[in-house]
Structure 1
Amino acid sequence: MLDIPSRVRVHVETLLAAQNNMGVCDAFQQYAPVWKPDAMNAPHPPKVAGIDPTVPTPAHTVASASAVSGAPSVPGAAAVPAPHAPAPGALLQDRLAGWVSDLTTLHELTERLSRTSTLDAALHELLRAGAALVGARRGLAVLEPADGLGPRTTLGLGLGRADLGHLETVPRGALPYDTRGGAEILHPDLFAEDGLDPRHREVAARLGYSASYALPLATESAGRLGAAVWLYDQPAEPHERRRHLAGLYARHATEHLARLLEVERTRARVAAITDGLLPARLPRVPGVQLAARHHTGPCGGGDWYDALPLPDAALGLSVGSVTGRGPSAVAAMGRLRASLRAYAVMEGEDPVAVLSDLELLLRLTEPARSATALFAYCEPALRKITLAGAGHSPPLLTGERRTEFAETSVSAPLGMLACWEAPSAEVQAEAGETVLLYTDGLLHRTGDPADRAFARLHAAAASVPRALRHDPGAVADHVLRTVLPDGPDRPDAAGGTEDVVLLAARFD
């Protein structure tokens, strides 16, 4: 931070007036002079997205009093200021104005960075802002945490996937950046350097860059996370002031990336635990084909699905959701699913008894938690399904001749009443029809009210192409793409934190 005395008052009329109608960076570019080529060893400074990316010198920089007056001193004569000489203290005021301008620029850029919530978005913002600070057009960021826990990724600004692939062929020691070092790396003129690696020279010529400036993404608290490098089309060297601003910004970006990295790792761990508690593969039962799709929310939820072979060539299908989020909900889901499997083996032909026992267990062992569940006892040879639901959405039956929701009794979720009980329902499927079991997360991710979400799901199932209906996995994928066109992992404001479960069973 710059040490500016609190008694010093800075009057920056141009900057303050410009801020009323535009951003700080835009005000700099419109009202402040641009550096001359000798301050930046590039004959034609590049541009970023049509905007001059330079960070100009302070708009109020003036020459010294002696340089402006240009008159020789007369011995014994009183010093008479030149007509355009600055007032006393003007030079200090001008320097302070430049410092305030720099701090305002950093504040605006770091504020944009702080609004990013994913690693990819933060890295893209880092490259974009850094390019504006150092006057470059292209760049790339390499994330390689020193602890080896990952994730490892490389993102480019103005560089395609093929361009990044070419850079990866350069020997690690000859790259224009170093993810293991702790200092900036400057190559003002790559092709004029002695000892440049031949492969690096070849790649630079292919990609069309002649200079580079790299900064490490490392701080004492965050450790070494990687590096960012910006590429110039012509020989160039960032001014010292530019490098100072870029270094301050990179240190702040590293701290932000470290926080996002920890969040990303936590989400990955929760997702791995959740996947480990769910079936690794679905059973093969004659007369029915199965497919499942599961997407864990960013906070980790308690949604589950299961398919269990039962005696007499029967099949038990279940989906459900435990209230709450995070590791505790995931653990409760695992306990509840394991208990349901045991009850299904003992009395699976009676779905009501299975859910009644599950409700009693939940009420005795976890009285503060509730859950929704649906259990179906399937007889593939007869294409008959007997099911019971506890506060759960009804299954959807779809085929070439019909697409309709199965009629089930309305009941409360498990753990909501002193004693749960509801009548079961029977569904008779036809050959080639698919039964879709799903959790409420699929409906909530749409962001629509319940009636519109059900209508969207119905329309998606009815629109499955005939050529895909023989494959339950293709049916499930089509339904997900249609109901959630932006993907099941989008951060929707209504339900972006919930799990999505879809279990499809096609009867031969």
Structure 2
Amino acid sequence: MNAPHPAKVAGIDSTVPAPAHTVASAAPGASPAAPQSATETADVTDDPGTPCAPGALLQDRLAGWVSDLTTLHELTERLVRTDSLAEGLQELLRAGAALVGARRGLVTLEPADGLGPDTTVGLGLARADLGHIETVPRDALPHGRILDGLPVGAGGLAEPDLFAEEGLDPRHREVAARLGYAASYALPLSLESAGSAGSTGSTGTRESTRGTGRLGAAVWLYDEPAEPDVRQRHLAGLYTRHAVPHLARLLEVERTRTSMATLAEELLPSRLPRVPGVQLAARHRSGPRGGGDWYDALPLPDAALGLAVGSVTGSGPSAVAAMGRLRASLRAYAVMEGEDPVAVLSDLELLLRLTEPARSATALFGYCEPALRRITLAGAGHSPPLLIGQRRTEYVETSVSAPLGMLACWEAPSVEVQAEPGETVLLYTDGLLHRTGDPADRAFARLHAAAAGVPRAARQDPDAVAEHVLRTVLPGGKAEADSEEDVVLLAVRFD
């Protein structure tokens, strides 16, 4: 009688190697009463004299498949919850280490299109350890050979006992002994292999990934001579084929973030001017897609200084471009009529309404006279500046006004700020308040408390003031975390 064929179960490939704990089939002609091991018999029946039923074998094998698929599902679910390239690479290393039974590893990102970023991330390896590995000739390392395009089998590239290999590179031997690893297992990270797997995504997605090429290579390190078995290799291969498309998306996000940050920085002042009587410092944090917040400090005739902060609605390339146009226009108006901040913003509002009627912006422009320690301010829907001194910390009272582009004709009176020697005027954009996640009144209170809490010694340095306020208002990495809200701080300290 022929054994029944395994039933077709959704998501299970019948070519997958049997799980390690599956009962082995009895050899032809073997006595049912003489199983290969007691463990195998216990898995099937409690009676050692009972023959191994084909149904029990099938049930055990299916249970092993389901267990493996559940593990893969959990690992891929953890991976897709990562939203940055660094987190994704770390999760890839952790999951791969669990699947192949290793403790340490590293992944080298080196996209074949040459657009970067090129980086190496380690698991259980310090930066110095990665530096030692980088001193080994590239062609002597398994992941180096993968990156150089040498052929790798479907099961990856294993080195089960490095020190037993003939012809092992002396430097590789030295580094392996120093770091305490004796074996390795490497896999390529390739969109081509992910697309050819055909197990996820639509046909269009698979076709778009073919030919894109290599993203990098991952290698896991064993403390003792070892290598993954057939099933471990298969599961690790399945996982990486599912992981690579997600890593490719994170790579594109990282490239976009870098490009937008570079573009935004190029549109902002490369350095702040040096003007007698004042010291300047600025902080700028942009979201991953780029935003429309800006600042400016422009020397004007008669030893004056034009100060501006503003925010354009929206995010992404269009908002960054609009910000660049608006800032350039404001600089021109400031040179022509900077002593009248209301006129500067009126001209800017007219330009915005005529050239970009679907967009609005907030702005604050100040005509600063350092010799008099005076700033004449005009604001359009912008948050009030903060005046920080040894004896006072208070918001500057500004007139209530609408953002630019919201009314048929914008106009609001200006106000004057008279500072004392050693005091700092802090200009900022609303993103600083929005990133706190607090209601407006609590966000303003938090900002006021942060400014009032600047250490006395730090108040002599506007850079220290800006840094303290930023880190206090946005603690726990909020200042660096991804957010749709840009943040701008411009600190002006009077001598």
Compute the TM-score of the two structures, normalised by the length of structure 2. Answer: 0.87
SS of aligned partner of 1:159:
coil
Displacement of 1:327 after TM fit? 0.5
Native 8 Å contact 1:295 1:488 kept in 2: no
The Cα shift of 1:100 comes to: 2.9
| Residues 504, 9 of structure 1: alpha-carbon distance in 2 compared, 3 angstrom cutoff | closer
What is aligned with 2:13?
A: none
The equivalent residue for 2:23 is 61
Could you tell me how far 1:337 is from its partner in structure 2?
Answer: 0.8
In structure 2, the CA distance between the partners of 1:9 and 1:116, relative to structure 1 (3 Å rule), is closer
In structure 2, the partner of 1:151 is 117
Structure 1 equivalent of residue 252 of structure 2:
262
Contact 2:435–2:485 (CA under 8 A) maintained in structure 1: yes
- Taking only the aligned residue pairs, the percentage that are identical comes to 78
Structure 1 residues 245-285: Cα deviation after superposition (integer angstroms, max 9, x where no partner): 10111122221111110111011111111111111111111
- For the 8 Å contact 2:285–2:480, the answer to whether it is kept is no
- Name the CA distance, whole Å, in 2 between partners of 1:68 and 1:451: 83
Deviation at 1:226, TM superposition (A): 1.1
Read off the aligned partner of 2:314 and give its amino acid letter. Answer: G
Deviation at 1:321, TM superposition (A): 0.2
Shift of 1:415: 0.9
Of the structure 1 ranges 351-360 and 482-491, higher mean CA displacement relative to structure 2 is found in: 482-491
Q: 1:376 is paired with a residue of what secondary structure?
A: strand
Match of 1:94 in 2: 60
Deviation at 1:448, TM superposition (A): 1.2
Q: What runs of 5+ residues in structure 2 fail to find an aligned partner?
A: 11-16, 36-46, 193-208
Report if the CA contact (8 A) 1:216-1:227 is conserved: yes
Given candidates 129, 132, 146, the residue that maps to 1:166 is 132
- Counterpart Cα distance in 1 of 2:259 and 2:289: 11
Aligned to 1:324, the other structure's residue is in SS state strand
Conserved 8 A contact 2:33-2:49: no
Alignment of 1:77-226 (within 5 A): 83-178=49-144, 179-181=147-149, 182-183=151-152, 184-220=156-192, 221=209, 222-226=212-216
Picking from 445, 460, 468, the partner of 1:455 is 445
SS at match of 1:416: coil
Q: How many Å apart are 1:63 and its aligned residue?
A: 4.1
Q: Quick one: which amino acid aligns to residue 61 of structure 1? A: V
SS of 1:447's partner is coil
CA deviations over 1:90-144 (Å, ceiling 9, x no partner): 3334333333332222222111111111111111111111011001111111111
Once the two structures are TM-superposed, the CA of residue 68 in structure 1 deviates from its matched residue by: 5.9
Distance 1:339 1:156 in 2: 47
Q: Take 2:62 and 2:159, find their aligned partners in 1: how far apart are those partners?
A: 32
* 1:398-442 Cα distance to aligned partner (Å, 9 max, x none): 021111111101111111111111111111001111111000011
Local SS of the residue matching 1:186: strand
Deviations 1:212-250 (A, max 9, x none): 111111131242111111111111011011001101111
Is residue 421 of structure 1 aligned with residue 411 of structure 2? yes
Q: Which runs of 5+ in 1 are unaligned?
A: 11-54, 73-80
Say if 1:102 and 1:323 are closer, same or farther in 2 by CA, change over 3 A: same
Q: 1:244 to 1:8 in 2, by over 3 A?
A: closer
Structure 1 pair 311–455 and aligned structure 2 pair: CA distance change class (3 A): same
Note the alpha carbon deviations across 1:350-400, whole angstroms, 9 max, x for none: 111111111111111111111000000110000011101111000111021
Distance across 1 between alignment mates of 2:476 and 2:431: 15
Q: Which residue of 1 aligns with 2:286?
A: 296
Is 2:271 the partner of 1:284? no
Cα distance, 1:95–1:261 mapped onto 2, change above 3 Å: same
Which residue of structure 2 aligns with residue 502 of structure 1?
489
Distance 2:356 2:100 in 1: 58
Q: State the aligned residue count.
A: 450
Corresponding letter in the other structure for 1:229 = V
SS in structure 1 of the partner of residue 168 of structure 2: coil
Amino acid at match of 2:167: G
**Aligned-residue offset at 1:312:** 1.0
Q: What do residues 141-182 of structure 1 show as CA deviations (whole Å, max 9, x unaligned)? A: 111112221111111111111111111111111123222335
Q: Distance in 1 between matches of 2:31 and 2:245?
A: 45
Q: Which amino acid is the alignment partner of residue 436 of structure 1?
A: L
Tell me, yes or no, if the aligned pair for 2:136 and 2:172 is still in contact at 8 Å. yes
C-alpha distance after superposition, 1:20-74 (max 9, x if no partner)? xxxxxxxxxxxxxxxxxxxxxxxxxxxxxxxxxxx993544244275461479xx
Change in Cα spacing, 1:197 to 1:366, as seen in structure 2 (3 Å) is same
Kindly tell me: are residues 67 and 464 of structure 1, through their superposed partners in 2, closer, same or farther at Cα, counting changes over 3 Å? farther
CA contact (8 A) 2:33 2:50 kept: no
- Normalising by the residue count of structure 1, what TM-score does the alignment of the two structures yield? 0.84
Distance in 1 (alpha carbons) for counterparts of 2:76 and 2:182: 29
Equivalent residues of 1:58, 1:95 under 8 A apart: no
Whether the aligned pair in 2 keeps the contact of 1:491 and 1:497 (CA below 8 Å) is no
Instruction: Kindly provide the amino acid, as one letter, of the partner of residue 185 in structure 2.
Output: Y
Candidates 382, 387, 390, aligned match of 1:392: 382
Residue 27 of structure 1 is matched in structure 2 by none
Matched with 2:395 is 405
Describe the superposition over 1:314-347 as per-residue Cα deviations: whole angstroms up to 9, x where unpaired. 1110000000111111111111111111111111
Contact 1:180-1:224 within 8 A present in 2 as well: no
One-letter amino acid matched to 1:69: P
Alpha-carbon distance between aligned partners in 1 of 2:380 and 2:245, rounded to the nearest angstrom = 46
What amino acid does structure 1 have at the position aligned with 2:318? Answer: S
Does the Cα contact within 8 Å between 1:387 and 1:426 map onto a contact in 2?
yes
Contact 1:58 1:94 in 2 (8 A): no
Q: 1:489 to 1:68 in 2, by over 3 A?
A: farther
- Residue by residue over 1:187-226, the C-alpha shift from the partner in whole angstroms, topping out at 9 and shown as x without a partner, is 1011111111111111111111111111111131242111
Aligned-partner Cα distance in 2 for 1:427–1:433:
11
SS of 1:94 mapped into structure 2: helix
Alignment correspondent of 1:315: 305
Higher mean Cα deviation, 252-261 or 381-390?
Answer: 252-261
